[in-house]
Structure 1
């Protein structure tokens, strides 16, 4: 009787310990490695780190292509979608992903050590934007002699600025600021407006911005990806999603989604005018959009 009474007395304590350890036991028993309760802010919500005003990538109204990709992934994961917005300037990663306020940055250059990259989901480049019918329409490299003496817009501090300097184009270039508060300013919009008004002869922009704003112009502007540079840095990049270094299960799940969703991803990107490139630097057309970048 004494032994039974002692056993009963300890049952509440044993039950409490089992309750506390149950989540950890479940993780240990999970064979597919998909438990995300440790890694994510809220496993039931796709929490995205995003810029509140940085079209064509994202905005607070959900109008950017990264918003549309987030919606696609949230639907596939059967999760609610939520955002942590912060201007994509100095401190963006630290104040969002790094502070565990959100769990994924939808677009980040592969290899940037600020985050852990997923598999890339598109490949694109910087591009030169010109007016349709101008004598610069057939320019495909910053080394082209036709650009000598021309007023070319360039975002200061971006890789193609080095190529332009090597080609002797900076003395007549018009620089636009790199570090801005996107909530109140846009270097891309300012450059495109200057191009449309004739204040500059051409503009060099990151491909997704070039394609998006060129398509919005009336008449549309001409966009040529800069894939033929022989001096200076290469201007072609693979774009992935960014997660925290420790979030291995989450990264694997996103990689699986990217692989399964590539045709849908390509369709969204092409709908925003993003110049998609294959591994041979040829542009991916709508007809070939089912292929991986």
Structure 2
């Protein structure tokens, strides 16, 4: 959920045609975090028959107030598998803040969709693996699958999420400066310096569909829904996990996803792990219906 660059997770996939640090999956810019807002939901009373789920109202397509987000659906399946009632605890803030503002304050108990091993939490065993993708118009005939493809340097506008591995690589390759004004135009030139600023994933897909961008670089779960519903045929290529900066530093492109709980909540973590095993077929079905290509788990 916090494609919490992994805000995110981004949000990590074989060649398909679809009709918040550099090592994090999710989208996010965390230069300065605002103080907790009064718009954060009050915690529901403790109920052993409920699973309190930390969630953002405004992180489409992963988490939304109407509970139709990808991670909202997965959370419901996990809760029901545990024989508990899913109980969302909402914040108006982006998902990058739910750990600090909700989970750490014990206003809720689980966060869906964190990178496995996120140091802020105890993470469950991974329940799926996803990666970054290149999105282009199908009629362009582009089959770019790696950051090592020389054709990237000959393209025009590249739409890429701020704070993502793609932005890191564009800067290292000398491609960012020529795209900077374009990228900031997608957020109405709002500065990322002192506030969370991110390009809407649906906007990134639209830019490609209309031809305003030659290619978009995005975490597959962040854009799968919009690519699938596009009236313009789009091509999606999983990005090979072979990207590195010019100094040889690896820039990961694929990430396992987990459920996060507070680091001392070992009993709940064990229950979550058991539920994920039982619920795997239902979770896979949700991901496939969304159009998210799945990778083999690394762990």
Class of the TM-score when normalised by the shorter of the 2 chains: 0.7 to 0.9
For residues 129-173 of structure 1, the C-alpha deviation after alignment (integer angstroms, 9 at most, x for no partner) is 11112142x110122111113211111211121222333322333
Most deviating of 170-179 and 250-259: 170-179
Of 247, 257, 271, which residue of structure 2 is paired with 1:239?
257
**Superposed displacement of residue 126, structure 1:** 1.1
The answer as to 2:52 corresponding to 1:47 is yes
The answer as to 2:287 corresponding to 1:269 is yes
The answer as to 2:224 corresponding to 1:211 is yes
SS at match of 1:133: helix
CA 1:89 to 1:175, structure 2 compared with 1: closer, same or farther past 3 Å?
farther
For residues 84-118 of structure 1, the C-alpha deviation after alignment (integer angstroms, 9 at most, x for no partner) is 11223553211111111111001101111111101
The answer as to 2:204 corresponding to 1:199 is no
CA 1:265 to 1:89, structure 2 compared with 1: closer, same or farther past 3 Å?
closer
In structure 2, the residue matched to 1:164 is 170
Can you give the 5+ residue segments of structure 1 that lack an aligned partner in the other structure?
1-39, 281-292
SS at match of 2:294: coil
Most deviating of 114-123 and 257-266: 257-266
TM normalised by structure 2 equals 0.73
Aligned length: 238
CA RMSD of aligned residues (A): 2.2
CA 1:90 to 1:104, structure 2 compared with 1: closer, same or farther past 3 Å?
closer
Of 114, 118, 132, which residue of structure 1 is paired with 2:120?
114
In structure 1, the residue matched to 2:236 is 223
SS at match of 2:120: coil
TM normalised by structure 1 equals 0.75
In structure 2, the residue matched to 1:128 is 134
